[in-house]
């Protein structure tokens, strides 16, 4: 396998918090039902850090695909966690079609959160 693309993104947690509180419909527009459950499992500030990290990961994935968020929506990219907590990417519908078109067979993602910022990197691999 070879590297097809790399993406990175950072989201200010407080900015995400303000956006989601000001426009609650953003949650449904940006995040899958599963992501919403993962992010709202606990209350408080960390809830917004989890949303910010997932949004950063979606942006990083779009960059790694080399397309940006063109031809698919944010809900077409889902960030899930394994039982041990490791994040991974599930591409649905249009994002899966874009990945196939650009030759991506595997996507790896890493998330990191500080007090103020959520950061994500994505690595796209293909044959």
Q: What's the CATH number where 57 sits?
A: 3.90.470.20
Domain encompassing residue 14: 2-126
Which pair of tokens denotes residue 4?
Answer: 């097809």
Q: How many domains does the chain have?
A: 1
CA neighbor of 124 nearest in space, from 99, 110, 107, 102: 107
For the chain, the average pLDDT equals 94
Helix-, strand-, coil-residue percentages of the chain, each rounded to 5:
45, 30, 25
Confidence of residue 103 (pLDDT cuts 50, 70, 90): very high
Q: Are 9 and 120 in contact (CB under 8 A)?
A: yes
11 by Cβ neighbours in 10 Å (0-12 / 13-18 / 19+) ranks as: buried
Residue written as token pair 């606990």 = 42
* Mean pLDDT value of segment 47-73: 94
Confidence of residue 28 (pLDDT cuts 50, 70, 90): very high
Angle at 61 between CA 3 and CA 105, to 5 degrees: 45
Kindly state the percentage of the chain with pLDDT values over 70.
Answer: 98
User: How many whole angstroms separate alpha carbon 97 and alpha carbon 78?
Assistant: 14
pLDDT in tens, 107-120: 999 999 999 999 99
Task: Give pLDDT, residue 41.
Answer: 83
């Amino acid at each position: 396998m070879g590297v097809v693309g790399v993406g990175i993104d950072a989201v200010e947690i407080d900015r995400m918090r303000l956006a989601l509180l000001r426009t609650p419909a953003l949650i449904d527009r940006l995040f899958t039902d599963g992501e919403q459950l993962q992010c709202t499992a606990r209350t408080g500030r960390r809830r917004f850090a989890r949303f910010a990290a997932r949004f950063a990961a979606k942006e990083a994935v779009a960059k790694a695909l080399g397309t940006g968020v063109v031809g698919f929506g944010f809900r077409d990219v889902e960030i899930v966690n394994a039982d041990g907590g490791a994040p991974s990417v599930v591409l649905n519908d249009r994002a899966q079609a874009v990945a196939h078109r650009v030759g991506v067979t595997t996507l790896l993602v890493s998330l990191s959160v500080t007090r103020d910022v959520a950061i994500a990197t994505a690595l796209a691999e293909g044959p």
